[in-house]
A and B are shown apart, each in its own frame.
Chain A
């Protein structure tokens, strides 16, 4: 990565201020205004204009898709909850903060166990029904209960009961305090739909667009909701989402003007897209965590020295440059992405140190052990390359890694959480608590390291109910340090969000919590006339 790129990254992650960035750029003799970040965030900012048909080519749609939120299994369906067809109670802004959406405001009790939500008045569903407390309760209850197969079932388990106070007020009584509870209601899986909904494929919601036709795995057409309650959003006359899972086909369609925007451009050739006139590459610091979990109850991974040795045995910089082509940041072996609140900035970065790795491995007496790394590009694009690089890096420390290539099909069922050491991928969750709760807590269903750490779990449980930001910050800092030094996962890199669009498309401050501006491109973007 050039030093300019690095500076850009640091600035984007908030590690340096804008002034510092400018100063350091000019010190290097680079014109800072050339940076796409500046173009995206300041120079391009203008008054949104109305109209046009927005054609989006998307990877992440399948013929098995349905608009039933419990079966959402890829980004195309998840996007429909983000102000496109439906809304949630809570929205996340471009900084990842929870802001009101269908809820007007909320108030926790001092122990964070009781949350009172005031609902927005006068919001209508696409079928004309007015949104009220009953609809919200129905929508959240849909994920709860014995029969639920919802992916957020574990998250909503914290809800003891939902009480309707009046038509526009509801109260959540939680089993334990949870300071981050509003984020659960901002999930792509928790959109609000009318009470009694059984046919989800009609896509009835309160979103900025009304569903016209939807053919799973092919395309989705929606026209503007003339009645949209949100000010200054949903600018297009209509949106046409075409499923294009093949990367080359998607890129060609964008180049030839058949679509206006696409997600997941090929990182290898992204620099060429940037050069193409009429196109823009949208790079946002994000939270795609490329992880390598070890089962800490299976020897030799039971020994923390072995785990640390492996953590020191990978050249993160090179992996970032080779696998992510520089579109990302190096990881620090904990799952809190730089964009997430309470990210431990001051925690020293772990780097490649073959001597230390060798020393620790020798101490553990495992220098002659062959470490089998199970990998497949099903985990993430480039997982096999990453493993190959690692094997080389580790060899310099005298550690022997054997790469086991697994079939892509069935990877999540047969390899992940079954093999002692494998490649894996996580979308950073909205909050540190959420991320830790889904995969690092001792009772988490997806604890893919079987990791149980007493102090960590104690902190995690305590921090949930603390509303004092300062105190919480300290607690989460400590948790990140524990995971980094004693956890069972190596996280060598965190990828940025990468999208591409025609330069006719305009936006402000794209969010990095999901691709395509936090999956809100249809609601937030507009055309420059």
Chain B
């Protein structure tokens, strides 16, 4: 176990470097975009005079490196700063939106992950049968469609035609848990459709891969039931690639759902990030960008640790 800790420690140190690098890249990226927050907020009604006054007020007239290091100093001390566009605290803007994003991602994952793994196992069990082909075709068609298309289809059927689920997933803190779940069911289903195929295919492939090994043949010859072989003998050894794919998809559920947020009017982090980029609101872009980066880093680390623990060979190397 010792070297697992050592690895985790190493990876955490590397993550800090990654996140700092990301912050520099975000800063440079936003700087490179034409226009700044003063011009975009004032928009068509900007005049050179008002833009100048606005820049001065926001200290945008300072050189870029000074602004970056001021931001970094505050950030390290836990101060995310204030939005340049509306003066609200970034922590206040992001906090509940991030919670919303996690809530939606969590709900989608709670449906998608078990579904994908079970479907994957069944597909491996009935390999090349009509059933296998049917679920592969269905799930693969779902990822081939753009996500807004699936979203609109679900809305057309479940909100417009039958009027059973709301098309607006605008949850508010006043709602109870069940009401919230009911409200976000359609976006969660949309996301499920998008991520299931990938995880399902990986589970199926990994299990089939393991099924070709000699020890499975042995078990088979012993007369153990097919399902039992798969669940008790094949799956544990196929876990490592499956965990990695699940982690990647979970990360996607957190960071890549802006279109679903827009279509369902869901107040999540993606919408905030897009709005802030278009307004060049650097502190908000930085904070949300770093949250996304940290999500990726953490989930990848988690996946590595879990696949190590699930695989005795990886666990024991030196």
Contact = CB atoms under 8 A, between A and B. Distances in A.
24 contacts: A64-B85, A66-B88, A68-B87, A147-B56, A147-B57, A149-B42, A149-B50, A151-B45, A153-B50, A201-B86, A201-B87, A216-B86, A217-B272, A218-B267, A252-B159, A253-B167, A258-B168, A259-B168, A409-B33, A412-B43, A412-B44, A413-B35, A413-B40, A416-B44
A146 interface: yes
Query: Closest 8 A-B residue pairs measured CB to CB?
Result: A64-B85, A66-B86, A151-B45, A149-B54, A445-B47, A63-B275, A149-B53, A410-B34
Interface stretch (B239-247, B276-284, B305-313): B276-284
Given A68-B87, A149-B42, A249 B264 contact: yes
B42 A256 contact: no
Contacts of A68: 86-87
A248 interface: yes
A410 B35 contact: yes
Contacts of A201: 86-88
Given A215-B267, A252-B159, A63 B167 contact: no
Interface string B256-286: 0000001111010001100110110100100
Interface string A282-304: 00000000000000000000000
A151 B50 contact: yes
A248 B148 CA distance: 11
A354 B50 CA distance: 43
Given A66-B86, A252-B159, A413-B35, A244 B47 contact: no
Interface string A391-411: 000000000000000000110
Interface range for B: 35 or more
A168 interface: no
Contacts of A217: 267, 271-272, 275
B59 to A, nearest CB: 14
A249 B49 contact: no
Contacts of A216: 86, 88, 93
B170 interface: yes
B279 to A, nearest CB: 4
B303 interface: no
Contacts of B87: 66, 68, 201
B136 interface: no
Contacts of B265: 242-244, 246, 249, 253
Contacts of A414: 34-35
Given A63-B271, A249-B168, 13 more contacts: A63-B284, A64-B83, A64-B281, A147-B56, A217-B272, A218-B267, A249-B167, A249-B262, A253-B168, A256-B163, A409-B278, A412-B43, A414-B34
A233 interface: no
Interface in A424-466: 425, 445-446
Contacts of A160: none
A150 interface: yes
Interface in B222-268: 262-265, 267
A151 B49 CA distance: 10
Contact of A242 (B93, B155, B168): B168
Interface in B20-75: 33-35, 38-51, 53-54, 56-57
Given A258-B166, A413-B34, A154 B44 contact: no
B152 A63 contact: no
Contacts of B56: 147
A393 to B, nearest CB: 27
A461 to B, nearest CB: 20
Nearest to A150: B50
Given A64-B83, A64-B276, A258-B166, A151 B42 contact: yes
A416 B152 CA distance: 35
B77 interface: no
A62 B43 contact: no
B263 A248 contact: yes
A65 B86 contact: yes
B263 A249 contact: yes
A71 B58 CA distance: 13
B14 interface: no
Contacts of A248: 152, 263
B160 interface: yes
B172 interface: yes
Nearest to B37: A64
Contacts of A64: 41, 83, 85-86, 275-276, 279, 281
A289 to B, nearest CB: 12
